[in-house]
Structure 1
Amino acid sequence: MVDTSLVEALKFRGDPLADTVVAELAATGRVGAVNEVLAHFRANDQPVPADLPESVRAYLVATGKPPEWADLDRVARAYEFFVDDGVHVAAVLSFAAMVNCYAQPRPSRVLAMTHGLNQPHRRLSETSQFVLNMMGCGAFGSGGAFVPTIQKTRLIHAAVRHFITRSGRWDLEADGVPVCQQDMVGSLLIFSVQVVEGMRRLGISVTEAEAEDYYYVWRVTGAMLGIPAQALPATLAEARELNSTLVETSYGPSPEGVQLTAHLLDLYEKLFPGKVFDGIVAALVRQVVDDRVADWMRVPRSGGWQRVARIGTRVLGALERAEDDSRTATAILDRAGELLLGGSVRTLTNGQSTTLSIPADLRERWQASGLCPAGTAPRPATHTVRT
C-alpha cells in the first residue's frame, strides 16, 4: 500500500540530482554546449562523453542503470505484449491519455508556460518517442536507447522547473513545485493504468498478466525518473487504487486544458481528409475517457460518430478474439493501427524539429508481420535542455 501522505508531500519535491545540474549550467552559461554533446548521446552502452562538465558526467553515471530490484525478464514479457499491441497502445495514448493529462489543471498550466498552447505535435511526439524507446527490446540494457532518453527527460524537466520558478508567475507555496514528483506519479499512472483501461474500452483484449507486466515497465521507468520507490505502487491493483485517489480526483476544467485539447483534436482531425469524417476523433476520445472529463475539456459531441464508435468497439473486440484464427481479422486490426500511427507520425514530423524514430527491433518485428506503422526510415530523436 502506498503512503498517500508521502505522495501528497511529493507536490513540493522536484528532482535534486537534475535540478542541481541545470542550475549550474544556467549559472555558467553552458547549456548550449552541453546540448550539442548530449544530442549525440543516444545508446545505453555508449560511453559518457568526455567533453562534458564534471557535474553532468557525474549525473549521467549516477542515473545510468535501472534499480537493483528491476526484473528484466518481466520487462521482456512486456516487450512481447507491445509487439502485438503497440499500435493499440499508441491509439489510446493519442486519444485518451493526452486528454486526461490536459484535464489536470496544474500540469496544463506548466505546458502553457513552456510549450505554449498551440503545439500539440511537440507534446505528443515527445511522449510517443519516450514510449517507443521504453518498449524497445532490451530497453534498459546493452543495445537499447532508453536510458539516455530518461536522463535527458529528467534534465528537461529540471530546466522547466528552473525557468518557471524564476519567472515570477508561479506560486510555489500554493501550487507546489512545477513538474513535481506528484505530477510525475500521476503521468505514470495515466500512461500505464489508464492506457490499459482505455484499450479495454475499445474492445481490445489485454490479459491481467499483460497489464501487470506493462505497468511494471512503467514502475521501473518511474524509479529511473527519480520518483521515490516507496511512492510507486508495487502491484497493478495498488496502482489502480492510487489512480482513483490521486489522478482522477485531480481532474477539473481549466482554460489551458480546454485549449490544449482543442489543438490536439484539430491535429488529429487533419489525419482524416475532407468533411466526411468530421467528428470521428472527438467520438473516439469520448469512447475512451470519462464523459465528465470530456465535457470539462469541451470535446464536441457527435451522436452519429459516437454510435459508430460504440459499435466499432464491439466489432473490434470480436475481431481481437478471432485474431488467432482469422487472417482476415488480423489484417483488419493491423491495417487500422497502421493507418492511425502511420498518419500521426507523418503529421507530427512534417516540418517539426522533433523527429519520431521506431527502435530497429520493433520495426523489424512489425515488418516481419506485415506492419510497420511509420513507413519511413528510422531517424534519431533529439532532446534539448531548455532554460
Structure 2
Amino acid sequence: MDKLKLYTNQNFDQLRQRQDPLADQAVEDLIANPSFIDVINSWDIIPDQLSPDFSPRVRNFLQFYFDKQSLQETSVLQNGQDFFAKNGDIYLGLLGFYSLPYCYAFGDGAEVLVRSKRIVQDIGKRLAETGVFVMDIFRPNAFISDSRAYLTCAKVRLIHAFSRYFIQKYARDWDPKFGKAINQEDMLGTNLAFSMIVLRGMIKMGRNISESDFEVVLQYWKWIGELIGVDTSFWPENSKEAFELDRLIRKRHLKSTEAGKTLIGALGGYYKGNIPDALIRQQVDGLFYFFLGKEASNALGIKSTNALSGNLVDLVFRFSGWKNYGSKKSYEGFRRMMEIQQKEQFGEVIKLNLPQVIRS
C-alpha cells in the first residue's frame, strides 16, 4: 500500500485526538490497585500464568503480548538485531545527539515531556532508562527465543499511559490546542525519531545507508511500534515514505517553545557535565547544531560558532567508539559498557520500572 496517500493534515488532526485505550484502561486499574504495579515490576518476563487478582482490563492488556508472540517474523527481527550489533555505538550516540533533541523541537509534543519533572530534574536516569529500552529491544534473539523484551515494551507502553493519566488528571495548564497527551501522531513521530532519524544522522556523517538498511530498520520499528501502542497502519515501509512522514510532522509541529528550550537546556547541561569524552563534551552544542540543522536548532535556541563537517563528526564518534569498545563491536560489548557507566554514575544498573503510586 502506498502510505503517502495517508499523510494528510486531516488524517493527522484525527491522530492527535487518539491515544491508546488498551493501555489507558489498564493503567486506571493499576492506579486503583497499586499492588499490581509491584507484581509487574518484580517480573523478568511476562509469566504464562497471570495472577487471578489482576483485573480483566490488566489481563487483556497483557494478553495482547501473548497473542503477538505468534505473529513475529524471525527474519525481520534478526536483520534488525544484526544491524544494531554492527552499529550500536553510533546508534546510541545518535539517539542522544539527534533523536531526542529533534523530538524537543516539536513544540506540542514537548509540552508533555516538560511536565515530567524527572526529564528535567533527573535527566541522567531518564536517559539511562531510554538506553535500557533500546538495548533490551535489540538484544540478540529478542522476541524470538528471548521473551524479556515483550515485558520491556509492555512497561514502556504503560509508562506512556501513566503520563497521559496524570496530565489529564492534574495538569491544569494543559491546552487542548496541544492535542491529547502522547497521542498517535506524537507516538508515530517518536518512533520515526528512533529509527529513520538515526539513519539520517548516519548519512549526515558520511556513512553509506542503503535502501535495504532503511527497510530493515523501518520494519524492526514497525514491530516495536505495534508493541508499544502505535497505529502502524500509518507507518512507512521505505525511505521515501519515511521522509514524507517526517516532512508532514515537521511542517505541522516544528516551532520554538519554552518547553523545547527547557528540555534541550537540561539535556545539553547534563552532557557538558557528565560525558567522559572531553572532545565530545566540548562540542555538545556544535553536535546538536550539526545534526538538527538550522531550522530545528533555531527553534531550540541552539547557536553554534564552530561549523562541524560530517567527516569530523564521524571521526569523533569513531574515536569515542574505539576507546569504549575497541575494534570488535558487539551487542555484548555495548551492553557491558552501558552497565559499567550506570554503576559508576548511579551506583546500580538501571532497571525499567512502572512508577510507584502513593497509597492513600
TM-score w.r.t. the length of structure 1 is 0.78
Q: CA deviation at 1:273?
A: 6.6
Q: Deviations over 1:324-343 (max 9, x none)?
A: xxxxxxxx57415649xxxx
What is the match of residue 294 of structure 2? 291
What is the match of residue 322 of structure 2? 335
Q: Distance in 1 between matches of 2:20 and 2:37?
A: 19
What is the match of residue 20 of structure 2? 15
1:6 aligned residue (2, 5, 11): 11
What is the match of residue 47 of structure 1? 48
1:217 and 2:220 equivalent? Answer: yes
1:140 aligned residue (133, 140, 143): 143
Q: Distance in 1 between matches of 2:192 and 2:124?
A: 22
The verdict on how the C-alpha distance between 1:239 and 1:65 changes in structure 2, with shifts beyond 3 A counting, is farther
- Residues 10-159 of structure 1 mapped to structure 2, 5 A cutoff: 10-26=15-31, 28=32, 30-31=33-34, 33-43=35-45, 46-50=47-51, 52-55=53-56, 56-66=58-68, 70-115=72-117, 117-159=120-162
Q: Distance in 1 between matches of 2:136 and 2:275?
A: 27
- Residues 193-212 of structure 1 mapped to structure 2, 5 A cutoff: 193-212=196-215
1:165 and 2:168 equivalent? Answer: yes
What is the match of residue 373 of structure 1? 337
The verdict on how the C-alpha distance between 1:232 and 1:170 changes in structure 2, with shifts beyond 3 A counting, is farther
Q: CA deviation at 1:184?
A: 0.2
1:267 and 2:254 equivalent? Answer: no
Write the letter of the residue equivalent to 1:25. L
The verdict on how the C-alpha distance between 1:186 and 1:280 changes in structure 2, with shifts beyond 3 A counting, is same
Aligned-partner SS, 2:42:
coil
Choose between structure 1 and 2: higher helix proportion: 2
Contact 1:156 1:386 in 2 (8 A): no
Contact 2:123 2:267 in 1 (8 A): yes
Q: Deviations over 1:221-280 (max 9, x none)?
A: 112222223222233321221111124541111111111101111111124579887641
Write the letter of the residue equivalent to 1:123. R
TM-score w.r.t. the length of structure 2 is 0.84
What is the match of residue 176 of structure 1? 179
The verdict on how the C-alpha distance between 1:150 and 1:104 changes in structure 2, with shifts beyond 3 A counting, is same
Contact 2:218 2:237 in 1 (8 A): no
Aligned-partner SS, 1:374:
helix
Q: Distance in 1 between matches of 2:17 and 2:220?
A: 26
Q: Distance in 2 between matches of 1:193 and 1:297?
A: 21
What is the match of residue 255 of structure 2? 252
Write the letter of the residue equivalent to 1:164. I
**Pairwise CA RMSD of aligned residues?**
3.0
Structure 1 unaligned spans of 5+: 320-331, 340-360
The verdict on how the C-alpha distance between 1:88 and 1:208 changes in structure 2, with shifts beyond 3 A counting, is same
Q: CA deviation at 1:289?
A: 1.2
Write the letter of the residue equivalent to 1:83. A
The verdict on how the C-alpha distance between 1:333 and 1:279 changes in structure 2, with shifts beyond 3 A counting, is closer
How many residues are matched? 341
Percent sequence identity over aligned pairs = 21
- Residues 302-317 of structure 1 mapped to structure 2, 5 A cutoff: 302-303=305-306, 306-307=307-308, 310-313=310-313, 315=315
Q: Deviations over 1:125-145 (max 9, x none)?
A: 222221111111122233232
Aligned-partner SS, 1:12:
coil
Structure 2 unaligned spans of 5+: none
Q: Distance in 2 between matches of 1:171 and 1:264?
A: 23
- Residues 355-374 of structure 1 mapped to structure 2, 5 A cutoff: 362-363=331-332, 366=333, 372-374=336-338
Contact 2:155 2:352 in 1 (8 A): no
Contact 1:43 1:145 in 2 (8 A): yes
The verdict on how the C-alpha distance between 1:51 and 1:336 changes in structure 2, with shifts beyond 3 A counting, is farther
Q: Distance in 2 between matches of 1:314 and 1:86?
A: 14
What is the match of residue 349 of structure 1? none
Q: Distance in 1 between matches of 2:288 and 2:77?
A: 29
